[in-house]
Amino acid sequence: MKRLGDSKALISLISGIFILLILLSGCTTIDYALIAKSYTEEKGQHDEAIKNAKQGIALNPRYAPNWYWLGVAYFRKSNYDEAIRAFNRVVELRPAGDQFQSSYNFLGWAYYQKGNYDEAIRDLNKAIELKPTDSDSLRIRGWAKHHKGSFNEAVSDFNKALENIEPKDKDLLKDALRGKAFSYLGLGDKETALNLIKQAKSASDYDNNYDLSLIYYVTGDKEKAWEYRGGKGMVGVQIKDYSKGMIKGAEAVGIVEGSPAEKAGMLVGDIILKLNDADITGMMDFLNKAKTLIPGTIAKIKVLREGIEKDLSLPVASAEALMEKNPLIAPIIAKKKGKPETIAKLPQEVSPVIKSDVDELPSIKAKPNKNAYAIVIGIEEYRQKLPKADFAAHDAKTVSEYLTNVMGYSGENVVTLLNDHATMSDFVKYFEKWLPNRVEKGATIFVYYSGHGAPDPKAGEAYLVPYDGDPTFIVETGYPLKRLYESLGRLEAEVVIVALDSCFSGGGGRSVLAKGTRPLVITMDNSMVLSQKIAVLSASGGAEISSTYDEKGHGLFTYFMLRGLKGEADVNRNGSIEIGELFGYLKPEVERIARRLYNNEQTPQLIISDEKQDMILIGGQ
């Protein structure tokens, strides 16, 4: 009997250990899902989210939330094939709660982005079965049905979506009203379509000339179509803004096969400086001027290629071919021509990713520091349609990777704010609430900003420009550098490092200025920084501009900062990099490249107290 009792006790002990291991495994899995959610939803660090979700899946492949957040992260990266695989796994596991229905919605949305409208409708049907009032699923299904030429069904979906969209969601209202308008256009009701476009403009003010030009084109009033479009000319080149030093224009990033641009001998990388002797100041300026060209005529284009100006003769074509293929009206035109449906796909914006040597992380690593915090901001595109700050988002993502993988910062202590996740309210939230709530005595803080700066012409103060900032109202919509330094100075941190790949004169580069005002010279010195604990690395001097390093895919300052951190700044080869060493390395390199490539002066600055000169960034801690 005693031996039996011992056996039972042993079995009980083993069972208890087994249950405890399951519980611990479950907790770990849940933690990975929550971490993945935080990375992709709050920080915009989708690669980190993917890494953590995959670690959770390795522990427990049947825990649906890890698959769900893996799918969300891939979707946010526009990797729709991987997103589809992840969400299909979620629906196989049939989790309780909203993630089951949401996965079908994401599946439909991913297929829609790929132009696979039948698959999109199939999965959106399931999402709507589970939640009949889901305005998002109804709206996307409406667009998918429109592109298939099922205009009556599309109108029905848009109506149901509109019933469930909150009045405050102005962009969603606009989108549903536009979808309904073009579906009515497909049914032959021009007047209703025009009225709905008017309602869409009232819901969320936007330039509706594009929509009106398409409506009049479909209904045969081509004179009005060209009037609203701004002209009939077509060049056949994809472009982006270009601004380097004193040179402004539009850079060719794609040449349409068989187009006038190809016939003229234009190449990717050409900088368009003039069109028929008129200066080109940027992308929109070129597009607006190109529309006014008369088909059948020869236009003169001056381009800059490898530092040499070239004159090209361009045979202007009609924009009718573009209009015929436009995805909003292609299904309508296909119906008119007797085709039952069309598979015209939505245009996908392709942003070429330029890989450079600093994108590969170095093998050197600092010791983990749990009392180190970072806020990393990269704003490439702005709500106010300001000039694009090329590579700013890529800058920020790469800096975040260095912080977490090289410099010893814990991932949960690094916040990365990109584009529309870097609004004025985000600046206030993270600088003035998030940091003070977390930072403990003796902490290290790292703040990085890549994007536009702007001056206040009246007071001569410098401002960071958030995603929703407006240089015309910079005092009301910008985040003052002085406010940033004062907020950081109040923290109980031992060291605060601020790196700014921006400029503040308003003279171009990574700075903007209100119309009608002149560039300023803004000096940055210790009187602005105030606290002796703060060290500031800035990309350029007061009257200078901050350039990008196009061939490396980064800001010029950021590229050499990262290259220095990768090991080039370790001049004495002792395995550690001090801030003074880093500055001593990057300053002459930035000056050299700016002068050689852009005929421009760019002099990085370091503001630091004497006692912080030997502060170690990597190694030796």
Residue 453, strand partner residues: 464, 511
Q: pLDDT at position 540, please?
A: 85
Assign 608 a pLDDT band (cuts: 50, 70, 90). confident
Angle CA(276)–CA(278)–CA(283) in degrees, nearest 5?
A: 100
Assigned token pair, 48: 């980190």
Q: pLDDT at position 188, please?
A: 92
The 3 state secondary structure assigned to 259-282 is CHHHHCCCCCCCEEEEECCEECCC
Distance CA 370, CA 386 (A): 38
pLDDT at 330 over 60: yes
Query: Which residue in the block uniquely carries the two structure tokens 């009980």?
Result: 12
Q: pLDDT at position 24, please?
A: 43
The 3 state secondary structure assigned to 13-30 is HHHHHHHHHHHHHHHHHH
Angstrom CA distances, 8 to 1, 2, 620, stand at 11, 10, 55
Query: Which residue in the block uniquely carries the two structure tokens 């492949």?
Result: 61
Angle CA(189)–CA(195)–CA(196) in degrees, nearest 5?
A: 90
Higher pLDDT, 348 or 482: 482
Q: pLDDT at position 4, please?
A: 37
Q: pLDDT at position 590, please?
A: 92
Distance CA 463, CA 478 (A): 6
Percent of the chain with pLDDT over 70: 86
Host H or E run for residue 247: strand 247-255
Q: pLDDT at position 516, please?
A: 43
Q: pLDDT at position 524, please?
A: 54
pLDDT at 337 over 90: no
Question: For residues 516 and 465, is the Cβ–Cβ distance under 8 A?
Answer: no
Distance CA 241, CA 55 (A): 41
Handedness of CA 146, 152, 153, 158 (dihedral sign): positive
Q: pLDDT at position 372, please?
A: 94
> Hey, which of 141-150, 468-477, 562-571, 573-582 has the most confident mean pLDDT?
141-150
Q: pLDDT at position 349, please?
A: 33
pLDDT at 227 over 60: yes
Q: Kindly give the residue spans of alpha helices, DSSP state H, lying in 409-543.
A: 424-429, 435-438, 474-477, 481-489, 526-529
For the residues 202-212, what does the mean pLDDT come to?
Answer: 88
Q: pLDDT at position 621, please?
A: 44
Residue 496, strand partner residues: 445, 534
Mean pLDDT across the chain, nearest whole number?
Answer: 84
Question: For residues 254 and 268, is the Cβ–Cβ distance under 8 A?
Answer: yes
**DSSP E strands: which ranges in 562-604?**
577-578
Distance CA 569, CA 557 (A): 14
Question: Is 163 in a helix, a strand, or coil?
Answer: helix
User: Picking from 34-43, 175-184, 506-515, which range would have the lowest pLDDT averaged per residue?
Assistant: 506-515
Angle CA(220)–CA(226)–CA(228) in degrees, nearest 5?
A: 105
Handedness of CA 108, 114, 119, 120 (dihedral sign): positive
Q: pLDDT at position 356, please?
A: 82
For residue 4, give every residue at least 6 positions away whose Cβ sits within 8 Å of its Cβ, in sequence order, or none: none
CA atoms in the 13 A half-sphere facing the CB of 255: 16
Question: For residues 295 and 318, is the Cβ–Cβ distance under 8 A?
Answer: yes
pTM over 0.95: no
pLDDT at 474 over 80: yes
pLDDT at 610 over 70: no
Q: Running DSSP on this structure, what letter comes out for residue 346?
A: P
User: Picking from 98-107, 291-300, 319-328, 478-487, which range would have the lowest pLDDT averaged per residue?
Assistant: 319-328
The 3 state secondary structure assigned to 359-412 is HCCCCCCCCCECCEEEEEEECCCCCCCCCCCCCHHHHHHHHHHHHHHCCCECHH
